[in-house]
C-alpha cells in the first residue's frame, strides 16, 4: 500500500511522554506554543490493562486516560486546533460470550445488519457503553471529557475507537499480541512441548498500527493543503476504525506461526477461564466500521493481510 502524500510544506512531530506529558497543563501549553500544530492526534494512553486494576496504579491510569485527555483537548479547543482522540473497544465492556463451537467465524463483520455467531452483531458507535475494567472506565471518561471540551465549538474533533492494535516486526520490543506471539514462537522452538496456549473465545478485529495511521491521515484530510475533516462530522463525533474482518486471538496466533514457517497446530486453544487476568477482557469486541465507511473513507485491509505485513516487516 502506498502511504498518502504528506502535508504540503508540513512536518509531523511525534512527541512521547518525555517531550509532552499530557498530565501537565503547563507543559501542554508550552508545547503547543512552540509547535504551533495544525492538527493534534492524541494517541497517549495508559494501556497496562491488568496493572491498572491494582489500586496502586489506578491514579496513574486516570491521570493519563482521563485527566490528560481532558487537558490536551481543552488546550486544543481553546487554540482552535483540530483534534483526533484515539479510544478503545474496552469502553463497551463485556457482552455475552460467543460460543466457540457455534459454527465458525461470522460471515460479514462489516455489516451490522448481519448477526454473528450466537446472534451477535458488530458494536456500533451508538451501542451503549458499559466499561468494566479500570482501563475501560478511564478511557470512557476521557472520551466524554474530550467531547465536553469541544462542545459548542466549531473546531473539528473526532474520537476514533479502534481495537486489538499491533505492530509486529516493525516494533519488535513492544508487547502487543503479534510481537508477543513472534517471541513465544522463537522461545518455544526445540522444547519438549513447543506449544503456546491462546484463548479462542474472545472475538475482535485485529488492527495493524500502520493501517490505522494511514486511516487517521485520510480522516484528517492532511494530504491536502489544509486540514479538512469530513464536513458531516459534528465536533466530538465517534467513529470506529479497525482491520476488516473478525477472529479470535487463537486465529491470530495461528496465522503468526504460519507466517514464520512454524506449525500453527502448536497453538493450543483454551478458554478465558483457563487464562485468568486481573482485568476482564470482553468476549465480543468486534466494532462496526460503517461510521467510517459512511464518511467515504477507505476501509482498512483485512486483518489477515495486516498480520502478514506485520510479521514480514512490510508496513
Cell (9 digits) for 244: 476488516
Q: Which of the following is catalytic: 46, 71, 135, 166?
A: 135
Establish whether 135 is a catalytic residue: yes
Look up cell 503547543; give the residue.
Answer: 32
Cβ–Cβ under 8 Å, residues 45 and 106: no
Burial 191-217 (b: 16+ CB within 10 A, else e): eeeeebebbbbbbbbbbbbbbbebbbb
Cβ–Cβ under 8 Å, residues 179 and 260: no
User: DSSP assignment, residue 142?
Assistant: H
Burial 271-284 (b: 16+ CB within 10 A, else e): ebeeeeeebbbbbb
Look up cell 466530538; give the residue.
Answer: 236
Cβ–Cβ under 8 Å, residues 91 and 126: no
Q: What is the DSSP string of 75-100?
A: HHHHHT--EEEEEEGGGG---PPPPT
Query: Catalytic residue positions?
Result: 135
Amino acid at each position: 500500500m502506498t502511504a498518502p502524500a504528506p502535508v504540503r510544506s508540513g512536518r509531523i512531530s511525534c512527541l512521547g511522554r518525555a517531550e509532552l506529558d499530557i498530565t501537565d497543563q503547563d507543559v501542554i501549553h508550552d508545547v503547543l506554543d512552540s509547535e504551533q500544530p495544525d492538527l493534534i492526534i492524541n494517541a497517549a494512553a495508559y494501556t497496562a490493562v491488568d496493572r491498572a486494576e491494582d489500586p496502586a496504579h489506578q491514579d496513574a491510569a486516570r491521570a493519563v486516560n482521563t485527566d490528560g485527555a481532558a487537558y490536551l483537548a481543552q488546550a486544543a479547543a481553546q487554540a482552535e486546533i483540530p483534534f483526533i482522540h484515539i479510544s478503545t473497544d474496552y469502553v463497551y465492556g463485556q457482552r455475552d460470550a460467543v460460543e466457540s463451537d457455534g459454527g465458525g467465524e461470522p460471515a460479514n463483520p462489516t455489516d451490522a445488519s448481519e448477526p454473528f455467531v450466537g446472534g451477535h452483531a458488530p458494536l456500533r458507535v451508538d451501542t451503549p457503553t458499559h466499561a468494566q475494567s479500570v482501563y475501560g472506565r478511564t478511557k470512557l471518561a476521557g472520551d466524554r471529557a474530550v467531547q465536553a471540551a469541544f462542545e459548542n465549538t466549531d473546531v473539528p474533533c473526532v474520537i476514533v475507537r479502534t481495537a486489538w492494535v499491533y505492530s509486529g516486526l516493525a516494533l519488535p520490543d513492544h508487547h502487543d499480541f503479534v510481537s508477543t506471539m513472534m517471541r513465544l514462537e522463537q522461545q518455544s522452538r526445540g522444547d519438549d512441548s513447543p506449544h503456546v496456549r491462546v484463548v479462542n473465545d474472545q472475538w475482535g478485529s485485529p488492527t495493524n498500527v500502520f493501517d490505522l495511521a494511514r486511516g487517521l491521515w485520510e480522516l484528517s484530510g492532511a494530504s491536502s493543503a489544509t486540514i479538512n475533516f469530513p464536513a458531516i462530522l459534528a465536533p466530538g463525533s465517534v467513529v470506529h476504525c479497525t482491520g476488516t474482518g473478525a477472529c479470535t486471538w487463537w486465529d491470530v496466533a495461528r496465522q503468526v506461526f504460519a507466517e514464520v514457517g512454524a506449525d500453527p497446530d502448536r497453538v493450543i486453544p483454551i478458554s478465558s477461564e483457563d487464562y485468568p487476568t486481573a482485568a476482564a477482557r470482553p468476549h465480543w469486541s468486534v466494532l462496526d466500521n460503517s461510521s467510517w465507511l459512511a464518511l467515504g473513507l477507505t476501509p482498512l485491509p483485512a486483518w489477515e493481510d495486516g498480520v502478514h505485513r506485520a510479521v514480514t516487516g512490510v508496513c
